[in-house]
Each structure stands twice: as C-alpha cells, then as structure tokens.
Amino acid sequence: MPVLPDSFRTLVARFDASAFDAPRGGARIRLKVTDQWEQWDVIAERAARIQVADDGAEPDATLAADLETWEQIAADLAGGVLSFAAGRLVIRRNLNVGVGFLAATSGATGPERLRFGRVETASGEISMLSAGSGEPVLLIHGLGATKGSFLTSVAMLAPSFRTIALDLPGFGDSVKPVGAPYHPPFFAAAVIDLMNALELPRAHMIGNSMGGRVALELGLRHPERVRRLALLAPSLAWKRERPFAPLVRLLRPELGLLQVVPRWFIEGVVQRTIPVAESSWVRAGVDEFLRSYLTPRGRAAFYAAARQIYLEEPHGTKGFWTRLATLAPPALFVWGKRDTLVPIGFARHVRQTLPSARHLELECGHVPQVEQPFETHAAIAAFFRGEE
C-alpha cells in the first residue's frame, strides 16, 4: 500500500465545507503525485476523507503536482492558487471543484480567504468566488470563460479590495435560462441583481472581452452603482461592414440545444485566445468551456451571446459608439498589442469617442490578467485608488 503523503493529510484535516461549492452536495477530487505515480481520492462532502484512488470512479476534478509542490501548498496558505498560476499545479476537469478544494483546505480564516459559493438572486442562482475586504470589485468574464479566468486577479487584488468573480448566467455554474437574450443589458441586469443580493450599493468593475462590454453596459445604464471601470480587451461593436449579418440574424441560438462543435475545434479557439499552447491555463480553460458548452443550455447561451456580439449596431441613437460617448464612470482600457480578437486599433476609436478614458497597452494577447498579471493588476489597483 502506498504511504499517504503528510501534505495530503494536512490538507484534508483543514477542509472547511463552508468555503467549498460541491456539485450535487459532494465531490471526488483526485490528487496526483506526479513524481511518485501515486493517486489519492478525496471525498468531499460536509467533511472530507481520503483514500487510495479508485480507478473505476470518475473524479469531478484532478489536481496533479510533484511532491515538493504539494508540500509547499500544504505549508503556504496561498500556495495552491499560486502554484496553479505558476503552472506547477495542473487542475483538470472542473476548475470550480479543483480550486474550491484548495480554498477549502487553505486553513485561512481571515477576510483574505478564498471562498466559493452560490447566491440566489432575482435573475436566478449565480455562482461566484470571493476573497478580501475593502471596496468591492466585481470581475466579469468573457465569452465562453468562467470566473476561473480571474483567479490571479482575485489573488492579487484581495489584499486591498473585496473581490467577487462571478459566472454570468448561461456560463460556468450559474443559471442557464432557455430563451434568454444573453445580450449586454441582460447580463448587466444580472450583475445588478447580484449586487442587490449581496447588499452592495456600488462597486468597481473589471471585465475581460465580453465581460468588458457588460461592464460598459453597467456604466451606461447604472452609473450610480459603478465606481470605476477596468476594461481588459473589451469586446466592442465593429465599425466596419459585417457581411454575414443577414445570415447570422436568421440563425437561432436554440439550435445549440442540439448541435455540438468537436472538441478539437474548441481547443483551437481557446489556444488562439490565450497564445500559450501548452500552459495549464489553456488546458483548464478548455475544460471549463466544455463543461458548460457540452450541455444543451450552455451551448444555446454561448451561441446567443456570440450572435449578439456580432450583430451589435455601432451607430445610431442606440448604437454602441454613440452611447459610449455618454459614459460617466472613470474608465481604464487595457489593450493587448498581440490581440487578434479585439485588435489594438480599437484604442484609437475609444480615444476619439471617450477622451477622458485612460489607456494601457501591453505586450500580450486577449487575456491581460493571465498573460501580463503584474502589470495589469498594478495598473488596476492604482486606478481604483484614484492615483494619477
């Protein structure tokens, strides 16, 4: 029989179910010691127990690292998330369960602790992770992503702010209503409902890609609820002609209830979004996307949101660029110089339309918070503090 590593014994003994969001009331987390070829299963419910891995049982999440990294994770309260961010710990399958296990076994008890949970709102159940104290910051993910894309952001900003990363309706572990419009006003209303449920009168907003567009919608519709906006490669209405618009208007997102795109295609899309082909972030990002996309409701939500992004009108009284000129909350735009999804050329249009906005250009692609975390979060923290 293999000998249970002391680090695993320590983690399981620290398990706190109040910080863990288990699907169906419980989860099986497989812990792998990569340099010893050992595997153990943690059965996490109201309490946690550990046993030799059962090859016949399918885990909800797998966490793999060498023995030295596991020892560091057990010794350092923030070691798990930092090891994952650095690529020393690989999490596959369900990121919500995998990182939730790290949060529940960190031993942290203060406001800095990472917590996973679900909140019942007027828009339905919203899944979120939170950490820290101070002025609240809501973090809004992009198309096909989840709150997990902001793990580094939460870790870096929690010492100064109360950070709350959410799964938008239709994505991750949040409610997925059939037939919802999944456009910026719909998402913005859901964020306001979450703020109401959490009794937050105002908050800073961070949004990446589609989440940046949602954050802008919040600033336009509900300026009284928004302090400052940090917009990371936000999706914006295209000014050029959209030759496929007539066809896209005819396509119904509900077709996603039936049709499935092959996994190899989805992996290619994610790898082009985060151009680090073998990074643990890409692998986890593919898993997170597929976890939602491979459900009929998740597919329908994805197609509906993508359709709305493509069809958004740029001009006219209700056009995006016309409305952007009226944005009241202070805004910081962070652009990736190598971004192929939202090219940096958009920065010129934003400067012309919204001269008061601040801009930061980085050597990265479409996900600055993952690709250039130190520069991105230092700029965001300074901006939220009102530093010039």
Burial class (CB in 10 A: 0-12, 13-18, 19+), 122: exposed
Amino acid (1-letter code) at residue 359: H
For the domain covering 6-104, report its CATH number: 3.30.1050.10
Show the DSSP H helices in the chain as ranges. Answer: 6-13, 67-75, 79-85, 95-104, 151-157, 184-197, 210-221, 245-250, 263-273, 280-293, 296-311, 320-324, 346-353, 368-371, 373-384
Q: Which are the contacts of 265, defined by CB distance < 8 A and separation ≥ 6?
A: none
Domain 115-384, CATH number (from 3.40.50.720, 3.40.640.10, 3.40.50.12280, 3.40.50.1820): 3.40.50.1820
From first to last of its 388 residues, the chain has per-residue pLDDT tens of 678 999 999 999 999 998 998 877 899 999 999 998 889 999 999 899 999 999 999 999 999 999 999 999 998 867 777 788 778 899 999 999 999 999 999 988 888 788 999 999 999 999 999 999 999 999 999 998 999 999 889 989 999 999 999 999 999 999 999 989 999 999 999 999 999 999 999 999 999 999 999 999 999 999 999 999 999 999 999 876 655 445 445 455 555 555 556 666 666 665 555 544 445 666 777 788 888 887 889 988 988 898 888 888 899 999 999 999 999 999 999 999 999 889 999 999 999 999 999 999 999 999 999 889 999 999 999 999 998 6
- Given this model, what pLDDT does residue 279 score? 58
The helices-and-strands tally (H runs, E runs) of the chain is 15, 13
d(CA 313, CA 322) in angstroms, rounded, equals 10
Retrieve residue 222's tokens.
Answer: 């509900």
Enumerate the domain spans of the chain.
6-104, 115-384
Q: Which of 387, 321, 322 is CA-nearest to residue 358? A: 387
d(CA 337, CA 295) in angstroms, rounded, equals 34
Q: Which are the contacts of 286, defined by CB distance < 8 A and separation ≥ 6?
A: 263, 266, 267, 270
- Given this model, what pLDDT does residue 244 score? 47
Is the CB of residue 293 less than 8 Å from the CB of residue 302?
Answer: yes
Q: Which are the contacts of 278, defined by CB distance < 8 A and separation ≥ 6?
A: none
Residue that is written with structure tokens 């809501």 in the block:
138
**CB-side exposure of 208: number of CA atoms within 13 Å?**
31
Quickly count: other Cβ atoms within 10 Å of residue 51's Cβ. 11
- Given this model, what pLDDT does residue 109 score? 83
